[in-house]
């Protein structure tokens, strides 16, 4: 994914300028030093007491000597200069002998501490007992326990629980809704001491072909990760029941199934660009056939009362 380049404003000075600066500083320090009186001034012979002119000449001599030494070092360095062939060989050897983690692995490790399992419970009208109503996914967007998920995951729930990456389980309450984007905001009652909020990223530069990953609990199994690409932008989707029309969606082909709803869609940097909300399947199977949809994170952040990028 294209990202604006960041540059450091600091520049390393050249070896020659470093040498000159070092020499000048040393000489200046000597010149500025106060005269040190002799231990027995009365026995000092005339003409041997150092004065400012003498110190100036000493400083000038030191500058010339240090410059000469540094120039000699630059012209005759102790270490031999590496050739481009030697550098290429060293790089090739490293690549052949070192196993590097894939971008998907880095993205998963970055987002995992912020992913939660969301379970909603309802009361069985026949038995009056609490039963599991639905399983979905959520993502922590504020380290105080503010979580984004899908509205359809928690609709009709008598109680909601969230399970954090470290295993801590907590009840949660709905604190915000955005029905037009199928979004709900949850607040957990208890949170881990080291809870990490996900990094959200603008979709302004998102483009078809960009690599993305969906992380969640498909069919309650997880956390699970699937990778793919952005297939399209500004898509529309009508829910199977025909009750909700969603617009301005990110289309992606990373596998998603029931249980992924509410989970993050992330870049290979592990930054959230969307909230997984729906899959397209014209059959009654309701399983993934290659087309998934996510609500852009700008909409999701607005649902939580956070300013857009």
Residues 226 and 183 in one domain: no
Whether residues 256 and 225 fall in one domain? yes
Residue 194 a catalytic site member: no
102 part of a folded domain: no
* Statement to judge: residues 159 and 223 lie in one domain: no
**Residue tagged active-site, from 114, 152, 170, 231:** 152
User: Do 65 and 135 fall within a single domain?
Assistant: no
Is 102 part of the annotated catalytic residue set? no
29 is catalytic: no
Distance CA 165, CA 162 (A): 10
pLDDT for res 287: 87
Distance CA 80, CA 70 (A): 17
Domain-located, residue 151:
yes
User: Among residues 114, 120, 133, 182, which one is catalytic?
Assistant: 182
Claim to verify: residue 83 and residue 114 sit in the same structural domain = no
Q: Using an 8 Å Cβ cutoff, are 186 and 151 in contact? A: no
**Count of structural domains within the chain:** 3
Looking at residue 260, what is its pLDDT?
97
Nearest to 67 by CA among 15, 4, 129: 15
Do residues 157 and 90 both lie within one domain?
no
Flag whether 223 is in a domain: yes
pLDDT at residue 303 in the model: 76
Residue 4 belongs to a domain? no
Range of the domain at 281: 211-303
Q: Is the domain of 238 the same as that of 170?
A: no
Q: Tell whether 75 and 126 lie within a shared domain.
A: no
Same domain (yes/no): 86, 117: no
CATH number at residue 144: 2.40.10.10
Output the tens digit of pLDDT for each of the chain's 309 residues: 433 333 323 334 444 444 444 444 444 443 444 433 333 434 443 334 445 555 555 566 657 656 765 666 566 666 567 788 988 888 888 878 888 788 999 999 999 999 999 999 999 888 889 999 889 999 999 999 999 999 999 999 999 999 999 999 999 999 999 989 999 999 999 999 999 999 999 999 999 999 999 999 999 999 999 999 999 999 999 876 556 789 999 999 999 999 999 999 999 999 999 999 999 987 778 889 999 999 999 988 787 777 665
The verdict on 292 and 216 lying in the same domain is yes
| CA dist 78 → 23, 49, 66, 72, 73 (Å) | 21, 41, 17, 11, 8
pLDDT given for residue 41 in this prediction = 39
pLDDT score at 56: 59
């Amino acid at each position: 994914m294209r990202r604006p380049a960041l540059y450091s404003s600091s520049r390393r000075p050249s070896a020659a300028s470093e040498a000159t600066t070092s020499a000048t500083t040393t000489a200046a320090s000597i010149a500025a030093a106060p005269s040190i009186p002799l231990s027995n001034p009365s026995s000092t012979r005339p003409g041997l007491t150092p004065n400012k002119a003498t110190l100036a000449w000493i400083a000038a001599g030191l500058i010339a000597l240090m410059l000469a030494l540094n120039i000699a070092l630059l012209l005759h360095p102790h270490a031999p200069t590496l050739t481009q062939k030697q550098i290429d060989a060293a790089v090739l050897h490293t690549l052949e002998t070192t196993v590097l983690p894939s971008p998907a692995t880095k993205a998963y490790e970055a987002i995992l501490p912020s992913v939660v399992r969301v379970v909603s419970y309802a009361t069985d009208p026949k038995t009056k007992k609490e039963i599991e109503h639905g399983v979905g996914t959520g993502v922590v967007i504020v380290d105080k326990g503010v979580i984004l998920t899908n509205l359809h995951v928690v609709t009709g729930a008598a109680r909601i629980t969230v399970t954090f990456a470290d295993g801590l389980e907590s009840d949660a309450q709905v604190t915000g809704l955005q029905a037009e984007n199928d979004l709900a905001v949850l607040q957990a009652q208890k949170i881990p001491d080291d809870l990490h909020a996900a990094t959200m990223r603008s979709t302004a530069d998102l483009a078809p072909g960009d690599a993305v990953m969906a992380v969640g609990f498909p069919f309650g199994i997880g956390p699970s990760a699937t990778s793919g690409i952005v297939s399209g932008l500004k898509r529309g989707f009508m829910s199977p029941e025909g009750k909700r029309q969603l617009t301005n969606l990110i289309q992606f082909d990373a596998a998603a199934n029931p249980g992924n709803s509410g989970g993050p869609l992330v870049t290979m940097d592990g930054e959230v660009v969307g909230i997984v909300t729906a899959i397209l399947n014209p059959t009654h199977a309701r399983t993934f056939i290659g087309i998934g949809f996510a609500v852009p994170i700008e909409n999701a952040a607005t649902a939580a009362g956070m300013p857009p990028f």
